[in-house]
Amino acid sequence: MLERIGVGSVADLYSDVPDEFRYKGEYDLPSAMSEQEVRDHIEALGRKNVQLKVFVGQGAYDHYVPSVIPYITSRSEFLTSYTPYQSEISQGTLRYIFEWQSMVCRLTGMDVSNACMYDGPTAAAEALRMCVASTRKRNKVVMSTRLLPHVQQVVRTYMKYPGIELVAVDDVLAELGPDVAGVLVPSVGKHGGIQDLTGFADKIHEAGALMAVYCDLSTLAVLRTPAEWGADIAVGDGQSLGLPLNYGGPYVGFMACLKDHMRKLPGRIVGQTVDKDGKRCFVLTLQAREQHIRREKATSNICSNESLMALWCTVYLSLMGPEGLRKVNELSSAGAHYLHDRLMATGKFEDFMATRTYLNEFCLKPLCDVAKLQKALLDGGYFAALQLEDGTVTFCVTEKHGKAEIDGLVKIVEEL
């Protein structure tokens, strides 16, 4: 090979690199391991983690994972392919993205979905950027402080650098004005409460702004959809569709909107067409929005997304169907309300929310020492009662947790 190239050594291939930049040291890395050693090493690290029964949500929900999903997503043809630039040999990827877009539209009621975003919080930030791009000469956005804390943090970061004015308040409608481009509200608040968005869309649209709703896709099987609330944009995380907790990622963000805003949507979009012979096929489309064509004029800088995680969720939704998804919500909700009752009966909490209008997540005002409570729960193998900034503690129940596990949690609280 060197002969063909016409050099004497591999080192000569770096002859264009000034000598002062040639790295002559040894990387400070461990010595090469065999597969078995890697397994043993990771296993040993894993044993330093504490395996807990998870009763906290806050944007990451411990739902049951059907065994079919990892089996499908680990198929090499999906796993080891790149973004589907060569559509003739990427119909598998393109089809599942098209199915995912369709499912996101059916869940949210929106007209068009993109291929996916990094996660819910970044999708939320991109939604507000999209509002600014879609409305003329408006540079202010409003977000509800009822959004999950991690969503608010990422939105703050994204708005800061391009100088988009951001107001974070509880009463978002009071902030409407001629300079407001968009309003972001959750469909379920950080305390777990299902939000009543009646009248929001009318007021926001009257003020000339766009309405974006942050929602959990799983819950849309039972809750009023962003489209039914009159929203222009729906965003959120797909994690609750059977993605493992995975210490926070990879998850998958989604983003969908009404048809009018389609050409302002960031990210990849798959469309249906026909090939030369008239066969139905799928391609990346509307690429004039994207960075590889438009560079600095693109709707976003997003390139790689979380495609395989979108496949994960698509397979999950196929397995669940409308019935399964409804049952996931019902079982989780039944467990959460049962836990709520039992915790109140211990006398160690006060109700914080005015009504019990929540699904699988709720907050209580602790009447006991929170640090002691959390430690007792951890010692008993539970991750629960995470404290929010306002001092309340949050609980979440999914269909994974049986009555026995819930009773075990309550017993620890009772014995406190």
Torsional class of 229: left (φ above 0), alpha (ψ -120 to 50), beta (otherwise) = alpha
Work out which of 279, 354, 379, 389 binds another protein, going by CB under 8 A.
279
146 part of the interface to another protein, by CB under 8 A: no
In angstroms, what is the minimal distance from the CB of 39 to another protein? Answer: 8
| Min CB(197)–another protein separation in Å | 9
* 8 Å CB contact between 226 and 109: yes
Binding mask of the shown chain, residues 316 to 345, with x at each position contacting another protein by CB under 8 A: -xxxxxxxxxxxxxxx-xxx-xx-------
**What's the CA gap between 218 and 333, in Å, rounded?**
12
Q: Does 276 bind another protein (CB under 8 A)?
A: yes
- Is the distance from CB of 360 to CB of 398 less than 8 angstroms? yes
Q: Which of residues 147-166 bind another protein (CB under 8 A)?
A: 150-151, 153-154, 156-158, 161-163
- Which of 205, 280, 365, 411 is the binder for another protein (CB under 8 A)? 280
CB of 239 to another protein, least distance (A): 9
Per rule CB under 8 A, is residue 43 in the interface with another protein? yes
Q: Rounded to whole angstroms, how far apart are CA atoms 384 and 374?
A: 7
User: Cβ atoms within 10 A of the Cβ of 392, count?
Assistant: 21
User: Which of 8, 137, 297, 379 is in the footprint of another protein by CB under 8 A?
Assistant: 297
Peptide bond into 18 cis (omega under 30): no
Would residue 91 be called left, alpha or beta, if left means φ above 0 and alpha means ψ between -120 and 50 degrees?
A: alpha
Shortest CB 29 distance to another protein, Å: 4
Q: Does 390 bind another protein (CB under 8 A)?
A: no
* 279-283 CB contacts, 8 Å cutoff, 24+ apart: 281/87, 281/91, 281/94, 282/87, 282/91, 282/94, 282/95, 282/97, 282/98, 283/87, 283/94
226 is a site residue for another protein (CB under 8 A):
no
Between 9 and 170, CB nearer to another protein? 9
Residue closer to another protein, measured from CB, 207 or 315: 315
Instruction: Report which of 351, 400, 330, 328 is spatially closest to residue 191, judged by C-alpha positions.
Output: 351
Strand partners, 185: 213
Q: Is 120 in the site for another protein (CB under 8 A)?
A: yes
Q: Does 93 bind another protein (CB under 8 A)?
A: yes
414 binds another protein per the rule CB under 8 A: no
Nearer to another protein, 75 or 372 (CB): 75
Q: Which of residues 235-274 bind another protein (CB under 8 A)?
A: 237, 244-252, 262, 268-274
Which residue, 138 or 268, has its beta carbon nearer to another protein? 268
| Cβ contact 214:185 at 8 Å | yes
Q: Does 28 bind another protein (CB under 8 A)?
A: yes
203 binds another protein (CB under 8 A): no
51 near another protein (CB under 8 A): yes
Nearer to another protein, 97 or 233 (CB): 97
Give the Cβ contact number of residue 296 at 10 Å. Answer: 6
Residues of this chain, 348-387, that bind another protein according to CB under 8 A: 356-359, 374, 378, 383, 386
- Six-digit token pair at 334? 């039944």
